Chains A and B, each alone.
Chain A
Amino acid sequence: MSAGFAAKRLGKELQKISTSLPPGIELVTAENFEEWLLDIKVLDSNPLYENETYRLKFRFGSTYPIEPPEVVFIQLPDRPIPIHPHVYSNGIICLDLLGQQGWSPVQNVESICMSLQSMLTGNSKNERPPGDEDFVRANRQRPKDIQFYYHDNDV
């Protein structure tokens, strides 16, 4: 029943997404209700992200939308991982919205994409999070199992 719940909600979202999406967000693939790929662009002229497109991978569990989906950036030849103090170089995103605490079932794929867009737009630091290398080397956890400490309210 709960798996059906996620599928129904995702079906509705997909219906809406495939007809209209805000500028700078594009659906790449959504062949099932487990994994979707979307492209996002930063629209204003932030020199860090200008003319770049980033690929996002969404993974939905059977508890979606009660629990957040797993969202990471993925790297492809023409899809880099954006440089941002809250984005690790393996694509893992530290954003309270995507954690158990900050998530709300009212959020959806579109609103996540827009939040990430604005997270990138508002950034002016050309740096990775502190301890990025160690984290990337040592991390074997799924993003949702990582305990992030959301300390920075500016970005």
Chain B
Amino acid sequence: MPPPNTPEEGALATASSEPSSPEPAPVPLTAPNSPSAIGFAEFKYIFITKLDYQAIEYVGEVDDTLLCPVCRTPFISPITTPCGHTFCRECIDRALETQSTCPIDRQRIRKTRDYHLCPLIIKEQLDRLMVKCPNKGCNHQCPREHLEGHYKRRCDFTLVQCTGPDCVKPITRRVARKRLGGCMHDEVDCRHCGDKVCSMELDSHYDNDCMGRVAVCSDCRQVMPNPSMTRHKHEDCPKVDAPCKWHSAGCRVFKRRELVKKHEAEGCSFEVISRMLQQQAEDRKRLDEMARHVARCEERHARREARRAARAQAHATAHGTNNNNDHRSIEATHSAAHSAEPSSDGDGDVGGSTEDYVLAQFERLESELEILRQQSRDMDARQSHIILQHAAHFSDQIAEIGSKVGVVNMHLSWLMSLQRQSRSSTAAAAIAGAAASVASGSSSGARPGSSDGSGWRYSGDDRRYSEGGRPESLHRL
């Protein structure tokens, strides 16, 4: 990124070494015989991060007319378009990559070729804007034109390369200036406590952690480890001026701590007020908490209502097709129970949700039970239907078997009668032969004749049947 308009150091810039300076005639690097030891050492440091002009903070309000309409920061190396609008060089370059028109009035602009120099009066205004040094820890403020020089050459907090020959980690210039030579990331022994400390952090170790180094309080002459000194001065030292414990309530007493302690012990008149204020603050905190709690409860309630409504709707749609009247009535009782319930459950997230859960489970089980009932009913009907079908089949077969048994029965009786007939005819022939040989028309012969008469009747029936049915029944058998 090019530095802003004429980022020139003031008269102090002895060793002008800006690598990316737009000035056409950079001052040649200082001759090796002229600089002091410090100057040479500083020149040697290679700074690592470039100054980011878009990120720097300006002191006070910057006039809107000096802001680039694209990036909304005060112009950085501004240019002016043929249509008279001014932008940062970088911003207009970016904008023209997607659309080759002026972002403000959409006139055609060619990249670079159509850029005009920005009026010097604008540059001057920009140069005079006061800015803060972007380095953490540095409170330096200067006109923007001097920032580059401050950042690159003088600011103690600029990150530079470590002085170690092979080390590439950054250190601040302040650290680099203090110890020349040797890597600042090596661990060294603290001379007071013997702890291993990174040499860069040695100073802060002495001030904050080292318990081996002692110091004497300048006010009360007490001796203590160095890191405890700050706390001692702030909280304990009886010779240091301190405010009364109740100063927040308005007590103006501000004198040596030992006197303040005495004042407090005697009873500060602001104590009562202060305690009241504290009480009030606590009350307010409690009230806030309660208000939050109420809000939470209301929100939960609303959510629950919404869930319930959604569930009721879902049920209604699910059972709308079912046309199951008693099921509906169950649903109705459920919803009645629900609408009666919210008044009883007032608070408690857990209670509400478990109750909801149980109710939901109950409803689910209820509907499942209903489904099962329905299924068993269906199953029953299907079973009885199957049984009926089978039974019909069986009864058909039984009827057929019955008829066949009848046929067999008839055949049997026919055969029996046939046999009987043939036997009786032979008997009759024998009798007839006997009668013919003994006597005819006697009354004693009438009894066998009557018994034979029945046999005749049989055979007559049989013959009548056999004449038409015998071939068929024989065929059937």
**A83 CB to nearest B CB, Å:** 25
Q: Which of B68-102 contact A (CB under 8 A)?
A: 69-73, 91, 94-95, 97-99
Measured between beta carbons, the chain B residues less than 8 angstroms from A108 are 72
Asked if B71 and A67 sit within 8 Å, CB to CB, the answer is no
Known: A66-B94, A66-B98. A105 touches B73 (CB 8 A): no
A15-38 toward B: CB 8 Å interface, digit per residue (1/0)? 010000000000000000000000
Asked if A105 and B72 sit within 8 Å, CB to CB, the answer is no
**A145 CB to nearest B CB, Å:** 16
Known: A8-B54, A8-B55. A106 touches B69 (CB 8 A): yes
Q: Which residue of chain B has its CB nearest to the CB of A15?
A: B72
Task: Say what secondary structure dominates the interface of chain A.
Answer: loop
Asked if B106 and A104 sit within 8 Å, CB to CB, the answer is yes
Q: Which residue of chain A has its CB nearest to the CB of B102?
A: A104
**B42 CB to nearest A CB, Å:** 29
A9, A16, A66, A105: most-surrounded residue (chain B CB, <10 A): A105
Of B72, B94, B98, B104, the contact of A12 (CB 8 Å cutoff)? B72
Asked if B94 and A9 sit within 8 Å, CB to CB, the answer is no
Number of A interface residues at 8 Å Cβ cutoff, please give it.
16
Task: Say what secondary structure dominates the interface of chain B.
Answer: loop
Q: Which of A100-137 contact B (CB under 8 A)?
A: 100, 104-106, 108
Measured between beta carbons, the chain A residues less than 8 angstroms from B73 are 8, 12
Interface presence of B7 (CB below 8 A): no
Measured between beta carbons, the chain A residues less than 8 angstroms from B69 are 105-106
The answer for the CA separation of A5 and B68 in the assembled complex, in Å, is 13
Q: Which of B92-147 contact A (CB under 8 A)?
A: 94-95, 97-99, 103-104, 106
A66, A100, A108: most-surrounded residue (chain B CB, <10 A): A66
Asked if A13 and B97 sit within 8 Å, CB to CB, the answer is no
Asked if A9 and B72 sit within 8 Å, CB to CB, the answer is yes
Measured between beta carbons, the chain A residues less than 8 angstroms from B106 are 104
The answer for the CA separation of A13 and B70 in the assembled complex, in Å, is 11
Asked if A66 and B71 sit within 8 Å, CB to CB, the answer is no
Interface presence of A82 (CB below 8 A): no
Asked if B103 and A5 sit within 8 Å, CB to CB, the answer is no
Q: Which of B164-203 contact A (CB under 8 A)?
A: none
**A98 CB to nearest B CB, Å:** 14
Interface presence of A85 (CB below 8 A): no
Asked if A106 and B70 sit within 8 Å, CB to CB, the answer is yes
Interface presence of A69 (CB below 8 A): no
Q: Which of B257-313 contact A (CB under 8 A)?
A: none
Asked if B72 and A66 sit within 8 Å, CB to CB, the answer is no
Q: Which of A41-97 contact B (CB under 8 A)?
A: 63, 65-67
The answer for the CA separation of A108 and B103 in the assembled complex, in Å, is 12
**B76 CB to nearest A CB, Å:** 11
Q: Which residue of chain B has its CB nearest to the CB of A101?
A: B99
Asked if A106 and B103 sit within 8 Å, CB to CB, the answer is yes
Asked if A106 and B55 sit within 8 Å, CB to CB, the answer is no
The answer for the CA separation of A65 and B71 in the assembled complex, in Å, is 8
- A-B contacts, 10 listed (Cβ < 8 Å): A8-B54, A8-B71, A8-B73, A9-B72, A12-B72, A16-B72, A66-B94, A66-B97, A104-B106, A105-B94
A interface residue numbers (CB < 8 A to B): 2, 5, 8-9, 12-13, 16, 63, 65-67, 100, 104-106, 108
B interface residue numbers (CB < 8 A to A): 54-55, 69-73, 91, 94-95, 97-99, 103-104, 106
The 6 closest A-B pairs by CB, nearest first: A12-B72, A106-B69, A104-B103, A105-B70, A106-B103, A105-B103
